Amino acid sequence: MSAVGPEDPSAIAAISALARTPRLLVALDFDGTLAPLVDEPMNARMTPDAADAVDALLDAPDTAVAFVSGRTLHDLRIIAEHDDDSPVLLAGSHGAEQWPPVEASPDDAADRALRDELRARAEEIAGRAEGAWIEPKEFGFALHTRLAGDGAPDVQDAVDALVADRAPAWRRRAGRDILEFAFRQEGKDAAVERLRAETGATAVLFAGDDVTDEDALRSLRPGDVGVRVGAGETAASVRVADIAELAALLARLAHERGAARE
């Protein structure tokens, strides 16, 4: 079934049902979902409407909010303006990192050595196309080609071939103008399930804007609500046009949840 708009009667009914669940988890991608995509990734910030909607959800009764992102936990905390007192839960690196933090598993020295070698070689390849660059990740790296123009396909193919040859078991993710590779296999689907269990959520809303969010959207259960921000094939049941429309939907959910629990 195709995703419907937020004003469709079925979407309105789903949000109203979600507002009445005993314990709600709202899990949200960050870039492109709450914050506009920008040329300098560390400049990303939530729009004022999105930030207000998140605050309203945090004030709603029996409601947990989490950001679930491909960003490293370090970078996600910066762009989300997240300090140690923030009630927002975090899943960084597609769920391989989390906040509040847990005891880290022992480092795999061989994986990290290969990560560093492949990252250095990928940086050499990215240098062939002006505007292409490599983002270091805790468990791998990402190739960004948003500003690479006609040179993007060549560097994408070359980095793809490098990782396929040297690290065929690594997880590969493709999004808008980005290729990401990691030696850890966690995905946003597992992150949402972990957050569901940790918060005791009886229902979940997950929203995202890119291919990397579809794992989580496909994993949702009956009674949950998946929201796709923008165009593209999706497993979500609801589609919103942009961040502003998502913020309005989240604000409505917070309002209805508060009213339902009075």
Extents of the domains making up the chain: 9-103+186-260, 117-182
Q: Look at residue 260 in the predicted model and tell me its pLDDT.
A: 80
Largest CA distance in the chain: 60
Q: Look at residue 262 in the predicted model and tell me its pLDDT.
A: 63
Q: Look at residue 108 in the predicted model and tell me its pLDDT.
A: 78
Residue 53 backbone phi and psi in degrees, to 5: -65, -40
d(CA 86, CA 105): 25
Q: Look at residue 102 in the predicted model and tell me its pLDDT.
A: 73
Q: What class, spelled out in words, does domain 117-182 have in CATH?
A: alpha beta
CA atoms within 13 A on the CB side of 20: 7
- Tokens (6 digits) for 32: 């492109």
Residues of the chain with confidence (pLDDT) below 70: 1, 103-107, 261-262
d(CA 80, CA 170): 28
d(CA 103, CA 96): 12
Q: Which CATH number fits domain 9-103+186-260: 3.40.50.920, 3.40.50.1000, 3.90.550.10, 3.40.640.10?
A: 3.40.50.1000
Q: What is the pTM of this model?
A: 0.84
E strand or H helix at 165: helix 152-166
Is the sign of the CA dihedral 196, 201, 204, 208 positive or negative? negative
Q: Cα 163 to the chain's mean position, in Å? A: 23
Q: Look at residue 105 in the predicted model and tell me its pLDDT.
A: 58
